Structure 1
Amino acid sequence: MIRLILLFLLTCLALPAAAQQTQCHLPERLSVAACDSRSRDGQDAAARGTPGDFDFYVLALSWSPAFCEQARDRAGVDLQCRRNRFGFVVHGLWPQYGPGKASGWPQFCTPTAPVPESTLRRALCLMPSEKLVQCEWAKHGTCSDQPTPDAYIDKIQRLMSTLVLPDFGKGGSQTVGEIADAFIKANSGKTLAAAHLRIDLTRDGKLEDVRICYEKRLNQFQACGQTVSGFDPADPRDRGRRVLIRAMAPS
């Protein structure tokens, strides 16, 4: 009985706060297919960079209700949008360049085999799409300082276990500054500041991503700087921008 209780506690620590709000239902079988690196125009995405050669990390958190609103008829969204009910989910952990580089980030640094099913199962309550996990590892993880998909997912789990996510489940309207302030308040005592955050919106002005910048060792936050896209809550020109937040579906 004690072993079962410990296993339950460890499992909860490995899940993001948003995923802990409801059960995470996984299918019996998962699709283990390599990431298709082709862009929308059918061309292969350009590989650039060297594993481990970057300046800092960006943890990107997607607001799942906004994604599901846009992707309701798209194939492959059953796990995130029908089987489960999520708030924030992990979009990815991205190695990022500082100023002075030709591009803002490295990508597809080395060829890689598909992420195995056992690793997918560990990741899917954080990143609820087999395709997302495969492509985040292929595009961003291969450029990180993590040698394997398991190590990459371990880093994401560790970050999420220490991060408190504010509750935006009722939706509504807030400003860029208010969204950032909610994250800062939820993580009081952790030195999180507006300069460490970027707020990204959909084309119609809804909350899409919250991006949090970390120094390379992932031990502390750092200023995002000019290479990270999104609205800057530390900039008075961005701080007051109004953001619509899609409500979570009723359970």
Structure 2
Amino acid sequence: MGRYTGLFAFGLLLAASVVYSLLPADGPAERSTPIASSTETAPPRSPEQRQPAKGTDTPEAPQGSGFDFYVLALSWSPTFCDGEAAGRNREQCGAGKDFGWVVHGLWPQNETGWPENCPTPEGSRVPERIGRTVIDIMPSMGLIGHQWRKHGSCSGLGMTDYFKLVRQAHDTIRLPTELSNVDIESRTSPQAVEAAFIRSNPGLTRSAVAVTCDRERVDEVRICLDRSLGFRACPEVDSRSCRRSEITIPPTR
């Protein structure tokens, strides 16, 4: 049964790749648009780019400050757990763990570059009572603490509100069914993975999402969100998409 499920998912990904090639770009030359510096005024965004990720019923997001937008990085856990760091992260990669897409981080971003490791009166250690509010989507206290120190500290939010926002950002995204549980290793393209996320999330556009790869394996899907968690274009992030024609999706454990 697992083999047939995997073949069906692979067929869906191939179909998504074809659909992707037919999707309209967000503008006449979106990928080659010069990137404004963080001191310049960004051009107004189109209604499509400002569309909330999951409609108007999304709870009001805590409002950060001091940056232009967020990148929600969703990591494919089997790829991470196949790497050298897996042995140091038993919470995510230990026996019996079968995570798929997990939150790597919610990163404050500027049109060019990003802030990191900002001074904050909140301190650097995330208490377990706060970490446990997101441990199901960020399955390691080490990861949670690192993301707060490097990225959350630059959000302009307190620790509680930042991780509340991480939860809200995660919950705005619909994971494609064919990419939620992968029973057998399959090969596809970065464009097919991107297309699957676009089909599952109305309002998400090609210039608002990037798929990255770890050598020949899928690594992350990075989705750009404004400070109210609506989808928005991000040329610099999009330019770092994986350039391989094919990538492998390792199976969940």
Cα deviation code 1:82-106 (max 9, x no counterpart): 252110000000000103xxxx110
- Residue identity matched to 2:247: V
Residue aligning to 2:152: 141
Counterpart Cα distance in 1 of 2:250 and 2:157? 34
Counterpart Cα distance in 1 of 2:86 and 2:195? 34
Deviation at 1:162, TM superposition (A): 2.4
User: Where does the alignment leave 5 or more consecutive residues of structure 2 unmatched?
Assistant: 1-63
Do the aligned residues in 2 keep the contact of 1:97 with 1:227 (CA within 8 Å)? no
Query: Are 1:241 and 2:253 an aligned pair?
Result: no
Deviation at 1:71, TM superposition (A): 3.5
Do the aligned residues in 2 keep the contact of 1:72 with 1:81 (CA within 8 Å)? no
Q: Which has the higher helix share?
A: 2
Q: 1:242 to 1:161 in 2, by over 3 A?
A: same
- Residue identity matched to 2:174: V
Q: What TM-score, normalized to structure 2?
A: 0.67
Matched pairs, number: 183
Do the aligned residues in 2 keep the contact of 1:56 with 1:97 (CA within 8 Å)? yes
User: Where does the alignment leave 5 or more consecutive residues of structure 1 unmatched?
Assistant: 1-50, 233-237
The 5 A counterparts of 1:12-27 are: none
Q: Structure 1 residue aligned with 2:166, among 148, 156, 172?
A: 156
- Residue identity matched to 1:127: M
Counterpart Cα distance in 2 of 1:130 and 1:72? 15
Counterpart Cα distance in 2 of 1:157 and 1:67? 21
Cα deviation code 1:35-60 (max 9, x no counterpart): xxxxxxxxxxxxxxxx8211111000
Query: Are 1:193 and 2:205 an aligned pair?
Result: yes
Deviation at 1:152, TM superposition (A): 0.9
Which of structures 1 and 2 has the larger relative contact order (alpha carbons within 8 angstroms, sep 6+)?
2
**Divergent runs of 4+, >3 A:** none
Cα deviation code 1:4-37 (max 9, x no counterpart): xxxxxxxxxxxxxxxxxxxxxxxxxxxxxxxxxx
